[in-house]
Amino acid sequence: MSMSNPLQYNVLVGQSGGPTAVINSSLYGIITASHKNKRSISHVYGMIHGIEGFLEGHYMNLTDELDETDLELLKNTPAAYLGSCRYKLSENLSDKIYPILFQKFNELNIRYFLYIGGNDSMDTVSKLSLYSEKINSNIRIIGIPKTIDNDLVNTDHTPGFGSAAKYISSTVREIALDSSVYHNKSVTIVELMGRHAGWITAASVLARKYAKDNPVLVYLPEVPFDMEKFANDIKTEFTKKNNLVVCVSEGIRDVNGTFICEYGNDVKTDNFGHKMLTGCGKILENFVRDQFGIKVRSVEINISQRCSGIITSLTDINEAAMAGYYGIETALKGMSGQMIALNRLSSTPYKVECKPVDVTQVCNKEKPFPSEWITCDGTNIRKEFLEYIIPLIQGEPEIKMENGLPLYCYRK
């Protein structure tokens, strides 16, 4: 460690949970804010693989190891530069894990710990800040939200959602073009992420180039799914159009709460006798083929919707960086146990500010897609949602290319 001013402390940052396109943009914000506050902050350390890796002694010195060029690349690099983990801290604040962690914090002269993540990570922030308070430590713990699922409460939206929405709606728009090239009747089912909340699937309606365009039907987990009604919905749409695109959340369930993706899992085994896990898209594909005897495809967008850097929202990137930046400023003010929320001041013109919110009021809660934004028949999204989401997908970053491909920042 370099010689440090006695009034200077270090920052520790970790990334946790599933990747997004902008989790590194928040890291960028934290690093740049720290470097701008040199009188208070000496170094920024990064946990490798979150709390879990840190407990095993894995961390890096971000201040010394990343130069300006790396930092600019980092801002537009998807996935988690520092690596991630899914690690749940003990509910019991007397557990020995807490003094172990805080001893490690002290060894690195950490005063500010920022954790970038979703729901579970906010749980970690909550527990660590409660423990810090309990032992009268000066260590400030701040959460920076990220999740493509947009399901955190007390924030207008979460960094990561805008880019995922933009990737998904662009991709569905292209799939709709592709699915319309043949004259014959066809159904293309697009399965999107969202086990519990339908925000991402709702975003697919942005793909429409004009009213009544594809996707013509949209099914979210918030509305119980019924196979028979689904068949009728398809039938009705076929009276208007030959090539249908249908978007569904992976987490759609029937009225009994059974996931549609579970409909097939008890019977499917491969040649080796192994159980095959199938998404709901495949189940619906089969169902439609049987009911209508037409060409059906299912497309699972899969992990690209959370880790693509090809098309991202500059608004999202800037807000993720801003949340990281503001996280440092909030910590420097002496606050702890806060998540940096995004507070929308207006939609036209779009204006947003960062605001610390009590993390104990955020963690372990979920914000479903609002039922008042779903049409009565449960297959479409109301225009109020468009007013909400359109500002979040605006703008594109300049992507640095090398030899024809996007250049990304990675741990050597």
x/- mask, its own copies, residues 94-133, rule CB under 8 A, reads ----------------------------------------
- Clarify whether 358 is annotated catalytic: no
Among 44, 85, 152, 354, binds its own copies (CB under 8 A): 85
Nearest to 315 by CA among 228, 389, 378, 380: 389
Catalytic position from the list 149, 151, 233, 316 = 149
Give CA 143 to chain center in angstroms.
Answer: 14
Contact (CB, 8 A) for 27 and 81:
yes
Radius of gyration in angstroms for the set of CA atoms belonging to the chain, rounded to a whole number: 23
x/- track of binding to its own copies for residues 41-60 (CB under 8 A): --------x--xx-------
Q: Is residue 116 a contact partner of residue 14, using CB atoms and an 8 Å limit?
A: yes
Check binding of 84 to its own copies (CB under 8 A): yes
Measured distance CA(219)–CA(247) in Å, rounded: 6
CB of 173 to its own copies, least distance (A): 7
Residue 304 found at the interface with its own copies (CB under 8 A)? yes
For β-strands 405-406 and 401-402, DSSP reports them as antiparallel
Among 44, 128, 139, 299, binds its own copies (CB under 8 A): 299
Contact range with its own copies by CB under 8 A, out of 247-255, 302-310, 330-338, 356-364: 302-310
Query: Which is nearest to 147 in space by CA: 18, 15, 249?
Result: 18
User: Tokens 């779903």 appear where?
Assistant: 374
Nearer to its own copies, 35 or 400 (CB): 400
DSSP symbols for 204-218: GGGG-SSTTPSP-EE
Shortest Cβ 177–its own copies spacing (Å): 4
Report whether 261 contacts 241 (CB < 8 A). Answer: no
The smaller minimum CB distance to its own copies, of residues 195 and 289, is found at 289
In the range 318-347, which residues lie near its own copies by CB under 8 A?
Answer: none
- Identify residues 366-405 at the interface with its own copies (CB under 8 A): 390, 393-396, 401, 403-405
What are the residues whose beta carbons fall under 8 Å from the beta carbon of 354, sequence distance 6 or more?
Answer: 322, 323, 326, 340, 341, 342, 343
The Cα 394–Cα 212 span in angstroms is 23
The reply on whether position 278 binds its own copies by CB under 8 A is yes
Contacts (CB under 8 A) with its own copies, residues 245-274: 263-264, 266-272, 274
Instruction: Label the pairing between strands 243-249 and 140-145.
Output: unpaired
If the CB atoms of residues 102 and 287 are measured against its own copies, the closer one turns out to be 287
Nearer to its own copies, 67 or 266 (CB): 266
Block residue for tokens 């991630």: 84
- CB of residue 230 to its own copies, shortest distance in Å: 13
At its nearest, how many Å lie between its own copies and the CB of residue 303? Answer: 5
Residue 300 in the binding site for its own copies (CB under 8 A): yes
The residue among 85 and 357 lying less far from its own copies, judged by its C-beta, is: 85
Backbone torsions φ then ψ of 9, nearest 5 degrees: -125, 175
- Cβ nearer to its own copies, comparing 253 with 282: 282
> 3-class SS at 195?
coil
Convert residues 7-26 into a mask of x (bound to its own copies by CB under 8 A) and - (unbound).
--------x---x-------
Largest CA distance in the chain: 75
CA distances from 128 to 1, 12, 306, 339, 392 (A): 25, 13, 28, 13, 31
Residue with smaller CB distance to its own copies, 81 or 102: 81
- Least CB distance from residue 326 to its own copies, whole Å? 24
Two tokens at 361? 């009021």
| Residue 93 or 294 having the CB closest to its own copies | 294
Residue 144 CB, shortest distance to its own copies, in Å, is 16
Give me the 178-207 binding string for its own copies, x by CB under 8 A, dash otherwise. xxxxxx----------------------xx
Residues whose CB is less than 8 angstroms from the CB of residue 249 and which lie 6 or more positions away in sequence, other chains included:
191, 192, 193, 194, 195, 198, 200, 201, 219, 220, 221
Contact range with its own copies by CB under 8 A, out of 111-119, 169-177, 327-335, 350-358: 169-177
Q: Which residues have a catalytic role annotated?
A: 149
